[in-house]
Structure 1
Amino acid sequence: DKEPPRSILTWEDLVSKFINQFFPPSKTTYFRNEITNFLQKPNETFNEAWEQFKDLLRQCPHQCFSELHQLDTFYNALNLNDQDALDSAAGGNFLDKIPRECLSIIESKSKQIAASLEDKLDIRMNHFEKSLNDMKNSFVTPTAPIKAVEEVCVTCGANHSYNQCPLTRGNDFLVFHNNIQQFQAADVRNFIQNHNQNVSNQNASTSIKSTQSAKQPISLPRKQL
């Protein structure tokens, strides 16, 4: 709702009206209790607890806790190991330091732990990636190299063509085979020609004999008186 004219006269009036509208008393009370009762979770690291605590402070900027009270609340919310680590970094009782020094110690420790966790995470990721690659390689069947098709001789079984086989003297076998065929063909032609010539000669001889027989007189047997 709009404020009536001249209802806001100072900065404090503006802040008060803004908080009352966007942070009603019930919400403020809730976050104040969350901050006061804050505790580090059993499995929560130091830097995670610090980020969680700062997030609560940001959600309730008007909680009216002093800086020293905030640091005291956070320190007492930690487990004993993290409290001892802060005391060791402070060179004594952590809460004896001024708030600025306490904040510096907390931020330094938080960054160191975060960096250490990142390194551990990188190592785990590398191990995980290696495990995945090993599993992948175990499932992949290596492809056997394709061998060139080799010609095998049908005569001796060696890796050469039968035309180059020493047992058949290579291409000489084909030449010899062709020569035999040509020789056989010539013999057949010669045989046919000789046969025809012989038949002609026989026919001619028979004809001559027949002619001679016809020219000779036929002698009849004389009749005895």
Structure 2
Amino acid sequence: MRTRRSYFPPTATIPRRSRKQTTNVVEPEFCTIVEMADNRTMAQMLQAPIEGYEDTIVVPPINANNFELKQTLINLVQSNQFTGRQDPHNHLCFFNKVTSTFRHPEVPNTTIKLLLFPFSLKEKHGYG
């Protein structure tokens, strides 16, 4: 009967690590302090740039002589006001359908939409 030891001759044994290990001490390298080119914080860097942007949506001036928004159109827009809990895509689809039914020859459709959009929002979001 052969034992495990007989398979490995004494010259082929694997040397074991010594129990006392040496610790490698790394000396820190002192280098000169280099100033950063941009000394802003991360919060400041993540803010969107505001140079060249207007504060709010500005409705262009209307040059039509007899233009007015009909009360029925305002009521129709207010019948489906956005509260923040509905799907915004569905709200915009409904708003586009309603505003596309009203046309005035001297006023662009985008101006009509800009005038009517605040009425499509609830009190917290718009005029409602």
State whether TM-score is above 0.5. Answer: no
Higher relative contact order (CA closer than 8 Å, sequence separation 6+): 2
Q: Which has the larger radius of gyration?
A: 1
TM-score, normalised relative to structure 1: 0.14
Larger fraction in helix: 1
TM-score, normalised relative to structure 2: 0.21
